[in-house]
Amino acid sequence: MKDMLIRNLKKGLWASIFIAFVTFAISYASLKYRGTHKLDRTFQSLVNVTDKQKYFERECLKLPKLQYSEDDKRIPSCPFISGDTYRSFCHHVFDDSTPPSVYYYKAGRIKKNELVFVATHILDKVSPALLQNAKEPYILITSNSDDSAPNNFQDLLKSEKLIAWFPQNADMIHEKVYPIPIGLANYM
């Protein structure tokens, strides 16, 4: 079950990378042949997006999506890879918008095999909550920071509740660690 879950998550990440590459190729081809190429209209419709919500509905909802909250002001850069795109795939989010007073409560609500997103620069504050209150196995994604992981968080890495860790700035090799690309800047 664990291996199948990790394989499916990797397939989703590689699909996102492929989509980003294809989009870049279309953009490049369109710029190269501007005015004479059929891809020009496609590129213009992609670039001239003024309403992020409509862009999100048109592009992101085509991708596998686990949650999107109307209250969430951070719209991912779908179909491009970004920290906020990874964040949008997760069931539980711990970042600057999460008050520290709810870390332990949210960690206790993690269900079996759910995806947990933590902004790497607050991982030192969130990891005690995950270690103490997470009762079910989970998959961790850390991103949206220049900080590296998981080398400084060996106790979290050794936790029996952690199935796999997908860090943006991986600083070690481990059987549970699967580095992910940084991607583009948020808020495209």
CA distance 143 to 86: 8
DSSP E strands: which ranges in the chain?
A: 92-94, 114-119, 138-143, 162-167
Question: Long-range contacts made by residues 126-129, C-beta under 8 angstroms, separation at least 24?
Answer: 126/94, 127/153, 127/155, 127/156, 129/103, 129/104
- Is 7 inside a domain boundary? yes
- Is 92 inside a domain boundary? yes
Residues 6 or more apart whose CB falls under 8 angstroms from that of 53 comprise: 75
Q: What percentage of residues in the chain have a pLDDT greater than 90?
A: 41
* Residue that is written with structure tokens 């998981």 in the block: 150
pLDDT higher than threshold 60 for residue 83: yes
According to the model, what pLDDT value does residue 91 have? 87
Please give the residue range of the domain that contains residue 56: 2-167
Number of CB atoms found within 10 A of residue 85's CB = 23
Residue range 8-47, pLDDT digits in tens: 555 566 556 655 554 554 544 444 444 444 444 544 454 4
> For residues 8, 184, 143 and 112, what is the CA-based torsion angle, rounded to 10 degrees?
-20
- Is 177 inside a domain boundary? no
Coil/strand/helix, residue 140? strand
User: What is the overall mean pLDDT for the chain?
Assistant: 75
Coil/strand/helix, residue 181? coil
CA distance 34 to 21: 19
For the chain, the domain total comes to 1
- Is 181 inside a domain boundary? no
- Is 160 inside a domain boundary? yes
- Is 112 inside a domain boundary? yes
Coil/strand/helix, residue 45? helix
Question: Long-range contacts made by residues 55-60, C-beta under 8 angstroms, separation at least 24?
Answer: 60/85, 60/88
- Is 172 inside a domain boundary? no
pLDDT higher than threshold 70 for residue 140: yes
Residue range 88-138, pLDDT digits in tens: 888 899 998 889 999 999 999 999 999 999 999 999 999 999 999 999 999
Given a contact cutoff of 8 angstroms between Cβ atoms, the answer to whether 65 and 91 are in contact is: no
- Is 121 inside a domain boundary? yes
According to the model, what pLDDT value does residue 13 have? 60
